[in-house]
Amino acid sequence: MEQVNHTSGQIEVISPYGRVYIYTHTSAAKLVAEVHEVLSRRKRWDDPDYLTRMIVCGIIPKDQWNSEFGYGIGTQLYVDVNLLISIDTTNQTISISSYGSGVDDVKMELEDFIQNFYKQANFD
């Protein structure tokens, strides 16, 4: 029987007007790759509303769109998430904190994340 990795995570999108949090209850292990895929398009980095929508569409599997479980969108940071990815649309930076994995408080420019960091990191 395949073991399921139940890890929670949030993506925080920071704009000049506030913050939005995208939450997953069980799929944090995939978030860095999914954020990398969306940011690699190099579109809407300066538009928090559209960037947030692109990320939401990128992380929620289509077969889960009508489910009431597994994913959420909110206005608060949960204190018990295993992974937090913060994307600052004004300063064009990304921060990653993954509690227990050794990746804590990594912060870099979005372009550096796309070109260098993701390729060198191991998030499996």
Domain borders along the chain are 9-115
Count of positions (residues) in the chain:
124
Q: Is the pLDDT of residue 38 over 50?
A: yes
Residue type at 4 in one-letter notation: V
Helix (H, G, I), strand (E, B) or coil at 25: coil
Q: Which amino acid is at 71?
A: Y
State pLDDT tens for residues 63-101. 988 888 889 999 999 988 889 999 999 999 999 998 655
CB–CB of 80/6 below 8 Å?
no
pLDDT of residue 3: 41
Mean predicted lDDT score pLDDT of the chain: 87
101: its two tokens: 């994995």
pLDDT of residue 104: 62
Q: b/e for 38-60, b at 16 or more Cβ within 10 A? A: bbeeeebeeebeebbebbbebbb
Is residue 9 within 8 A of residue 81, CB to CB? The reply is yes
Residues 31, 106: contact at Cβ < 8 Å?
no
> Does the structure show a pLDDT above 50 at 4?
no
Q: Has residue 115 got a pLDDT over 80?
A: yes
Read off the pTM.
0.86
